[in-house]
Structure 1
Amino acid sequence: MTENGKASTGSALFANRCAGVLLHPTSLPSTSGFASGDLGKEAYHFVNFLADAGFSIWQMLPTGPTHGDLSPYQSLSAHAGNPELISLEALVERGWMSPNDPALHSKERRERQVGRQRAAQGFFAAAQENTHLQHQYDSFCKDHKAWLDDFALFLSLREHFQRKPWNEWPLEFIRRDAAALEKAREDFAEEIRVYCFEQFVFFQQWHDLRQYARKKNIYFFGDMPIFVAHDSADVWAEQHNFRLDDEGNPLTVAGVPPDYFSEFGQHWGNPHYDWERMEADGFQWWLARLRSQLNLFDLIRVDHFRGFEAFWEIPGKVKDARQGRWVKAPGKALLAACFKEYHSLPLVAENLGVITDEVEQLRQDFSLPGMLVLQFGFDGNAENPHLPHRHSLLDVIYTGTHDNDTTVGWYESLNQTARQQIDEYFFHAQDTMPWLLIKAAFASVSRMAIVPMQDLLELSSEHRMNMPGTTDKNWTWRFSWEQVPENLAVKVHKLLALYGRLAR
């Protein structure tokens, strides 16, 4: 709190009460029949829906390029955008792609990748005749050179070596021999140019969408995983910042001990940072990473924030997460460096799971909003921080997150005792799920409330986004406009007006 009793945080979005929707762009409807949404017309349609309903926030999951498992939390880059989110229809409108290109209606990722390669050819042909277009592309490559050069080369080499992890490449590439890398840049010049084009287009489409959303008073809320994937351009290019052996293998990896989501803990496999080395240069790697995120989002959730205070360290060759241990991290020094560089840094701390007093103190030292999930509140303990009467101004309230079951599915799984507690807590209200929990989130004293799209659509468990600790059927959920009731925007608008959360 500040001296006058008002909430203090790095983001102006907490100056007033507001609300938003959690929906990853891949979950948008697809006009082309592809298995993923993109940054095209449906994204603009969704922004219109948010504005009509009175929402202010569009919260997303990480937007980087994914591995084959599609997890946005194990990206090939901490800076790049996911090319799967590129709207091919928009490339047709720009004249860089044929309206008859077979990739436009293909459900295959590989075919759409080939389609983007053809679009790149069209773009570079157009750029030869349009000096302004060429200048835009050259400026983008120059502005993002610090990560783009290594990223494009990394993807080229990865394709050349049949998408094997970089620590399984020939030794000269693992160790980044200068002569070998220079020859690779020459050999794969065309591939590198296509990857750079994809990033140019992604950022162009992203910023066009963000500008449109801003005019509608909609702000983008992003998600930054605390760890990065081992098989990523970031780790390959800056191995000195990670705890690796001479052949690029992680000495220790990240995960979590047993918790609400998994009785055996979770083995994530991300390499740990060499925090001592990072601290020695003033955390330059982190400052660059935040710079990229601030270029995309108005608010940034730090996933697994507790890892800034202490992280779960699992030996690199061990697969059982229960064999890890807690190790202290220099979170206070890191955040101090970040706030010194960026001053009003708009961060939200994901403080779910095994949270200690030290973690909460670190969050409070920097006035960072935390997260509270209503689904976690009803365990019979009146002191449970997730219960509405325990909320504070700087909490972000969720009915559930992308890792939770939908609220309908969650409620259906509860025993009679838990249901009775909910009934008594909410004064025997007549609302059914999920609207009882949605109204509780909107009514909370906390400044920001976020509802997953699945809950607004009253969907069951089969529509959940992710089930932690599993690898099947995650990250593929999409909604259709047929699922959206005709009066939903009007209904939500009335509720947001009732609870003082309408967009301003």
Structure 2
Amino acid sequence: MRQTPIKPADIFNRRTAGCLLHPTSLPAAKLGHCDVPSGNLGRHAHHFLAFLHSAGLNVWQMLPTGPTHSDRSPYQSWSAHAGSPNLICLQQLIDWGWLSAEAIAKHLPVGDCLSFDDMAQLRTIACDEFFRHIETAQGKHIGRDYQRFLKEQAHWLDDFALFLALRKAHGGVSWLDWPEPLRLRDNKALASARQQYQRDIAQAYFEQFAFYSQWQALRQSASEQGVQLFGDIPIFVALDSVDVWAHPDQFMLDQRGQPVSVAGVPPDYFSETGQHWGNPHYRWDTMQADDFAWWRDRLGGQLAQFDLIRIDHFRGLDAYWEIPAGSPDARAGRWVEAPGEALLASLFKHCHNLPIVAENLGLITDSVESLRKRFALPGMLVLQFGFDGNPTNINAPHHFEPVNIVYTGTHDNDTTKGWLDSLTSAERERLAEYLNTLPTPWGLIKTALASVARMAIVPLQDWLELDNTARMNTPGTLDNNWLWRFQWEDLPADLATRIKQDVIRYDRLGQDLPFSDDISPEK
């Protein structure tokens, strides 16, 4: 029997425009007299949604929202399911009546700025306040919601909470360095730990419920304002994560739990030794045997948060770079075929027309593109990559395909102004000839909006025409990444009006279009 061809998800049958901004880059409400160290899900996130709506933008793209390691990279998380506690807004919990402002105020430091460690300590105070609140008549309904959350999310939350408690009990070391009964998940040892560390487990439960509650409020607000939330899934998970500890059978590990091989990319133009990421590889044969249950569970959790999702390093679903675990860099690796077609077939079987975007940047083979197109997945086009003088460059606007998403730049690129400032005079001249005008950040934005690509995403830094000091991340470096934040006074008073004028001019208000087979990536 002939299979019905897969078509792109409904959102890609509209001309839309959006903004790339991670919530940590938002302003944040003060807590008492103190500034908090990161943007979060509080009132400024809702204010940003109102800005997007007033600007006619209908997509808010973010980076992964999971709990991060000490480098705060969203792409190395403790969990594929959990939300980052750093995104919890304690002031909003006070406004909701969950916490007492006086109780929090008593524990604020003397200075004006809170550190991430200060925030972690304040969340322990907030946890105690929360449990007192749900025992009161006013808090009973929240208590019922909390119990329902614990039950519905137990399939990942129980392991996650215990994982964090055990990390704390062992001084923050990796689970690979825990005593063997805990490292290898002896049932008796785990049961004993659950009893011993009840307070820390309750802390994790509270934080995840607070994140979940604030996220649901944000998503409801986004829906009411016609804004779709666009999330991001790193293809691999961190070795030091609850995912690997709780599901060792799904990963290429030896009997001690150590990785047999790790992920990365081979040497290329950017690095003579390649990139050695250290993530363990999946045991694809085991995953395939249970119809990819781990992946279906992971994707289901993200679809409960987001309206559409990008899979980072999509090419790893076709073939991945396998580096022997003991190798100091990526040069000893080799390409190994992955069952991406079987995985995607399983995901689409359980959820028709998945709103998935494939991150297909870099050196992409015909095989990778064939896999992407077979499932009608939009890919990514980046203007900063499109003006090298090669007329066949797929990132050049004259080669755009409608179903793909065009970006002026991504979180890994310099800002558009920073990129323009870095061009040689010959490169600027070539770009000016292509655009038939002097290149500016706003000019590149208009080029993206005017293109045939059904979705155009612009980082906030580019809407603000900021230079490279506002760059979010520089791949291959460890310092000064993931730190950029804006303040409302950075936004010109007429910015929303200017954006909306162009959104209307280039027909990107998100109206449904008659479906046509010519937007299929197979064309």
Please state which band the TM-score falls in when normalised by the shorter chain: over 0.9
**C-alpha deviation, 1:373, in angstroms:** 0.3
User: 1:27 maps to what in 2?
Assistant: 25
The structure 2 residue matched to 1:169, chosen from 173, 178, 195, is 178
Residue type of the partner of 2:7?
S
Residue type of the partner of 1:473?
N
User: 2:501 maps to what in 1?
Assistant: 494
Is 2:330 the counterpart of 1:321? Answer: yes
Is 2:307 the counterpart of 1:298? Answer: yes
Q: Contact conserved, 2:29 with 2:91, CA < 8 A, in 1?
A: no
SS across alignment from 1:301 = strand
2 CA distance for matches of 1:7 and 1:422?
37
Partner deviation per Cα, 1:98-130 (whole Å, 9 max, x = no partner): 324246665211221121122121221121234
Partner deviation per Cα, 1:351-410 (whole Å, 9 max, x = no partner): 011200000000000000000100001111000000000001111000000000111111
Q: Contact conserved, 1:403 with 1:465, CA < 8 A, in 2?
A: yes
1:308-457 mapped onto 2 (5 Å cutoff)? 308-427=317-436, 429-430=437-438, 432-457=439-464
CA 1:143/1:55 → structure 2, altered by over 3 Å: closer, same or farther?
same
User: 2:486 maps to what in 1?
Assistant: 479
Residue type of the partner of 2:329?
D
Q: Which moved more, 1:136-145 or 1:96-105?
A: 96-105
1 CA distance for matches of 2:165 and 2:158?
11
1:152-301 mapped onto 2 (5 Å cutoff)? 152-259=161-268, 261-301=270-310
Q: State TM-score, norm by structure 2.
A: 0.93
**C-alpha deviation, 1:7, in angstroms:** 10
User: 1:99 maps to what in 2?
Assistant: 101
Partner deviation per Cα, 1:210-229 (whole Å, 9 max, x = no partner): 10111110010000000000
**C-alpha deviation, 1:259, in angstroms:** 3.9
Q: Contact conserved, 1:403 with 1:466, CA < 8 A, in 2?
A: yes
**C-alpha deviation, 1:324, in angstroms:** 1.3
Residue type of the partner of 2:328?
K
**C-alpha deviation, 1:436, in angstroms:** 1.4
1 CA distance for matches of 2:7 and 2:419?
33
1 CA distance for matches of 2:383 and 2:271?
19
SS across alignment from 1:435 = helix
1 CA distance for matches of 2:370 and 2:285?
22
Q: State TM-score, norm by structure 1.
A: 0.96
Q: Contact conserved, 1:259 with 1:353, CA < 8 A, in 2?
A: no
The structure 2 residue matched to 1:133, chosen from 142, 158, 167, is 142
Residue type of the partner of 1:127?
I
2 CA distance for matches of 1:215 and 1:353?
37
Is 2:467 the counterpart of 1:465? Answer: no
1 CA distance for matches of 2:378 and 2:269?
22
CA 1:334/1:449 → structure 2, altered by over 3 Å: closer, same or farther?
same
**C-alpha deviation, 1:31, in angstroms:** 2.2
**C-alpha deviation, 1:290, in angstroms:** 0.5
User: 1:3 maps to what in 2?
Assistant: none
Count of equivalent residues: 496
1 CA distance for matches of 2:390 and 2:117?
51
2 CA distance for matches of 1:106 and 1:248?
40
Q: Which moved more, 1:121-130 or 1:489-498?
A: 121-130
CA 1:263/1:396 → structure 2, altered by over 3 Å: closer, same or farther?
farther
The structure 2 residue matched to 1:89, chosen from 83, 88, 91, is 91
SS across alignment from 1:19 = strand
Q: Contact conserved, 2:412 with 2:472, CA < 8 A, in 1?
A: yes
Partner deviation per Cα, 1:427-456 (whole Å, 9 max, x = no partner): 2x24x4211111111011010000011111
**C-alpha deviation, 1:263, in angstroms:** 4.5
1 CA distance for matches of 2:267 and 2:451?
30
SS across alignment from 1:217 = coil
2 CA distance for matches of 1:70 and 1:187?
29
Q: RMSD in angstroms over aligned alpha carbons?
A: 1.5
2 CA distance for matches of 1:149 and 1:205?
20
Residue type of the partner of 2:63?
L
User: 2:41 maps to what in 1?
Assistant: 39
2 CA distance for matches of 1:226 and 1:251?
18
Instruction: Give the % identical residues.
Output: 53
2 CA distance for matches of 1:51 and 1:260?
41
User: 2:55 maps to what in 1?
Assistant: 53
2 CA distance for matches of 1:148 and 1:156?
12
User: 2:519 maps to what in 1?
Assistant: none
Q: Contact conserved, 2:99 with 2:133, CA < 8 A, in 1?
A: no
Q: Contact conserved, 2:14 with 2:510, CA < 8 A, in 1?
A: no
Q: Contact conserved, 2:17 with 2:509, CA < 8 A, in 1?
A: yes
Is 2:120 the counterpart of 1:122? Answer: no
Any unmatched runs of 5+ in structure 1? 1-5
SS across alignment from 1:79 = coil
